[in-house]
């Protein structure tokens, strides 16, 4: 997505409970947004227009509901 839509897509934050995985993801994706180990904090501080939830199926609904709120 970063490569396909550079004019229309801006990552405003990445969140993961694992700081090492979060650092790797940011570098791998080549984005320069803030990172958060707390999803709620990321939502509060960045107020994204769109979220992508990439977690296990069991936790999708919780994060999606918080994002919609």
**pLDDT per residue as tens digits for the range 1-60:** 888 888 888 999 999 999 999 999 999 999 999 999 999 999 999 999 999 998 888 988
Number of separate helices (H) and strands (E) present in the chain: 3, 2
CB contact set of 35 (below 8 Å; sequence gap of 6+): 13, 14, 15, 16, 22, 23, 26
The strand pairing partners of 15, in sequence order, are 36
pTM of this prediction? 0.85
């Amino acid at each position: 997505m970063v490569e396909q839509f550079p004019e229309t897509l801006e990552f405003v934050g990445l969140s993961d409970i694992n700081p090492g995985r979060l650092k790797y993801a940011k570098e791998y994706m080549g984005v320069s947004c803030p990172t958060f180990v707390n999803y709620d904090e990321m939502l509060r501080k960045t107020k994204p227009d769109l979220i992508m939830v990439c977690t296990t199926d069991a936790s999708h609904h919780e994060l999606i509901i918080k994002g919609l709120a």
